[in-house]
Chain A
Amino acid sequence: MNRRGPRRPRVLYLAFYYPPSRASGVYRARATANHLAAQGWDVTVLAAPLKFLHEVIGSVDEELATTVDPRIRVERPAQHQFAWEHDVRRFGALRRSMPLLARKLYHLSQEKIFPEHYYSWGLSAVAHGLRMHARRRFDVVLATGNPFVSFAAAWGLHRLTGLPYVLDYRDAWTLNLFTDRPAYPVDHPAWAWERRVLTRASAVCFVNDALRGWHAERYPSVADRMMVVPNGWDPDLLPGLAGGAGARGAGPLQFGYLGTLTTTQPVEEMITAFRRARAHPELADATLNIHGHLGFFAHSQAHLAARLGICLDPAPDGAERDVVYRGPVSKTDVAGVYRDSDVLVFLAGGARYVTSGKIFEYMAAARPIVSVHAPGIAAAEVLDGYPLWFNAESLDPDEIAQAMVAAGKAARDLSPEQRRQAYEHAQAYARQTVLAPLETRLRTVSNVHRIGGGAAW
């Protein structure tokens, strides 16, 4: 305690994907940092270099960056671009004169240091964190993956300074979510690294209980430090959704999918089912609007558009399309998309261990939701009890089409009471609610105690 009063607890948050990135996991990182800042923490985020986001990933949402709490300090440790650099003019002397040797050394560094292309960011993050800690000490380190080098960086900081650290498995590392099998062969260094970072972690978070269980089984000595922090929806990004998205207007039904479309999702099944459902009089003239990016990388667009069988160009005047690609939507504009949709299509790849962040927003919109995913998906835990859920329990296009027709009928007859019930179910997953236990755990592991309400410390 100093003369100015008790100091705010200080957290170093290692979140490679952070706004303006628009990677799918960025919303959890944004919300976590904002929530901690709102609860009185002094938050410093170490994130990916902007050059990487703009030039390599090529997917940023500048508007999302404006929603970051201004009290949060964001630093961007450097990262080399070996794996992504294609411009020969930018190659260093060794790489341009002996490229084979440079590549061998690069692979060796991955083998010996950390098995991810992002390992240099992890090293920079440790150096950066140490410098800041020397100037003004942190109380705890929180790391989110992927990339999982952030876990290694948290471990490194702990070994060098004794700082406790908490790991947030936003994604799975050694488990392939789409095959439900281990992601690496048994002798891969990722396993040793996972064991190493878990052993010394003060707490480990997972997005659902299935993932927590999978890891608890493999690392029983850490099981008592594992917890579930589900994803949630962000009321500050969906200002128009208080109480649901409101009643539908007249006219043909509008089905909507919002999110990044990837090759791991059953997109063909969704399109086929929708086209079959349109044969039903209830869905005559209905449109399936696809909002969001096609793939995580700019170059994946054409491939996915071909798989969808849709045209990326705007329809000529007067021409009608049953499936329309509407393009990316800034996170700050998504409330409008939900307002304009009568039925939301929950399209997800994988099964047992997949929740998907999008489902929480869908529920908050209080619209009928049609499931298009493999049966037994972890997201069912969350949807269970949602009164407007239409689940075919199958990827058979005919069965999905029937669920779409039923959802369409429900959308036409939706009462304010049904909408209220649906919204109430979603309230349990508002972000501040789901993040509260994590904040409490951070306080416990950093041995910081609340001495006042809200943001007063």
Chain B
Amino acid sequence: MSGNRPRVIVLAFAAPSKRVKDYAAGLLAQGVEVDLITSVAAPWRAAGLDRAVRIHAVAEAEERHPVRRVENLLLYRIPGRILHDLRRSRLGPNADRRLEELCDLHRRAAGRLHRIFYRRVYNVMRPLVIARAARRPLQGVDFGRVERIVAADIFAVTLTWELARRFPGVAATTALEAGPPAGGGPPS
């Protein structure tokens, strides 16, 4: 922590983008400290995000959310367990071949259902899930003198709103502005 330097919290849960990377670089160049709250740190580092940006990854917490766990249970764990039990019962070569075909079918169907679920249902709920899941991991983080909270994509909006409540008077915006933070209050 560097004490009195202003700090901007950027929240981004979509794939790493040049827009966010450049925004963070611009802020760092102006002497502003940047925290990035995201799902996983590695893709951002691989994309060349400046090392000076402090990353807080919340993917693990998101995965532990009941919605994800229920999906995992219904799509993978329960059918997987049934298939596993069938395999252990050794029903004969013909049945084994059928079982392999069934396993293959399950893999494809589960993958397809996951994609449909993820795109059509989970994505709609994801901002809410992220906001709930990130509460605990972010609770203990000392962000210092926060001057702006920026939602860089649509999945970050709900958590941005929650953080805005934690930092009353700090600008909470979806606009990635090039200038230095304006200090408290909404962006002009």
Taking A95-B157, A100-B154 as contacts, is the C-beta distance between A89 and B128 under 8 angstroms? Answer: no
In the complex, the answer to whether B151 meets A88 with C-beta atoms within 8 Å is yes
Interface residues of A in 204-242 (CB under 8 A from B): none
Query: How far apart sit A247 and B123, CA to CA, in the bound complex (Å)?
Result: 68
Chain B residues near A (Cβ < 8 Å): 123-128, 149, 151, 154-155, 157-158, 160-161, 164, 171-175, 186-187
- How far apart are A298's CB and chain B's nearest CB, in angstroms? 9
- Whole-angstrom CA separation of A89 from B185 in the bound complex: 10
The listed residue with most A CB atoms (<10 A of its CB), out of B155, B161, B175, B187, is B161
Q: Give the chain A neighbours of B154 by CB distance below 8 A.
A: 99-100, 103
Chain A proximity of B29: nearest CB distance (Å): 16
Question: In the assembled complex, which residues on chain B have CB atoms less than 8 Å from the CB atom of A95?
Answer: 157
A86: chain B residues within 8 A (beta carbon): 173-175, 187
Interface size class of A (residues with CB under 8 A): 10 to 19
Specify which chain B residues have a CB less than 8 angstroms from the CB of A89 in the assembled complex. Answer: 161, 164, 172, 186
Contact of A87 among B128, B158, B173 (CB under 8 A): B173
Which residue of the partner chain A has the closest CB to B172? A88
- A97 partner, pick from B127, B151, B172, B187, beta carbons under 8 A: B127
List of A residues within 8 angstroms of B124 by Cβ:
98, 100-101
Q: Is the CB of B187 within 8 A of A88?
A: no
A90: which B residues are within 8 A, CB to CB? 186
Chain A residues 29 to 64 lying within 8 A of chain B, measured CB to CB, are none
Q: Which residue of B123, B127, B171, B175 has the most chain A CB atoms within 10 A of its CB atom? A: B127
The 5 closest A-B pairs by CB, nearest first: A86-B175, A88-B172, A99-B157, A87-B186, A96-B161
List residues of A whose CB falls within 8 A of some B CB: 86-91, 95-101, 103
Contact of B173 among A88, A96, A97 (CB under 8 A): A88
CB distance from B152 to the nearest CB of A (A): 12
* Residues in B neighbouring A103, C-beta threshold 8 A: 154
Q: How far is the CB of A91 from chain B (nearest CB, A)?
A: 7
CA distance A100 to B123 in the complex (A): 8
A88 and B175 contact, CB distance less than 8 A: no
Complex CA–CA separation, A397 to B128 (angstroms): 57
CB distance from B58 to the nearest CB of A (A): 17
Q: Does B127 lie within 8 Å of A88, measured CB to CB?
A: no
Known: A86-B173, A88-B151, A89-B164. A99 touches B186 (CB 8 A): no
**Is there an interface contact between B158 and A97, defined as CB atoms closer than 8 Å?**
yes
Q: Enumerate chain B residues within 8 angstroms of A88, measured Cβ to Cβ.
A: 149, 151, 157, 160-161, 164, 172-174
Closest Cβ of chain A: how far from B118's Cβ, in Å? 12
Q: Which residues of A lie under 8 Å from residue B186 when comparing CB positions?
A: 87, 89-90
Closest to B127 in A: A99
CB atoms of B160 and A97 under 8 A apart:
no
A103 nearest CB neighbor, chain B only: B154
A91 to B151 CA separation, bound complex (whole angstroms): 13
* Alpha-carbon gap, A89 to B170, bound state (A): 10
Task: Give the distance to chain B from A89, nearest Cβ to Cβ, in Å.
Answer: 6
Q: By the criterion CB–CB under 8 Å, are A98 and B128 in contact?
A: yes
Given contact pairs A87-B171, A88-B149, a sample of 20 additional A-B residue pairs in the complex whose CB atoms are under 8 Å apart: A86-B173, A86-B174, A87-B172, A87-B186, A87-B187, A88-B160, A88-B164, A88-B173, A89-B186, A95-B157, A97-B127, A97-B128, A97-B158, A98-B124, A99-B155, A99-B157, A99-B158, A100-B124, A100-B154, A101-B124
Complex Cα gap A383–B73 (Å): 76
In the complex formed, the residue of B with least CB distance to A85 is B174
Other-chain residue from B127, B171, B173 in contact with A100 (beta carbon distance below 8 A): B127
Contacts of B151 in A (CB 8 A): 88
Q: Which residue of chain A has the shortest Cβ distance to B153 in the bound complex?
A: A99
Closest partner residue, chain A, to B163 (CB atom): A88
In the complex, what's the smallest C-beta–C-beta distance from B37 to chain A, in angstroms?
14
The docked-state distance in angstroms from the alpha carbon of A377 to that of B20 is 42
> Considering only CB atoms, which chain B residue lies closest to A95 in the complex?
B157
Complex: how many Å from CA A98 to CA B158? 8
29 residue pairs of the A-B complex, CB under 8 angstroms, read: A86-B173, A86-B175, A86-B187, A87-B172, A87-B173, A88-B149, A88-B160, A88-B164, A88-B174, A89-B161, A89-B164, A89-B172, A90-B186, A91-B157, A91-B161, A95-B157, A96-B158, A96-B161, A97-B128, A97-B158, A98-B127, A99-B127, A99-B154, A99-B155, A99-B157, A99-B158, A100-B124, A100-B154, A103-B154
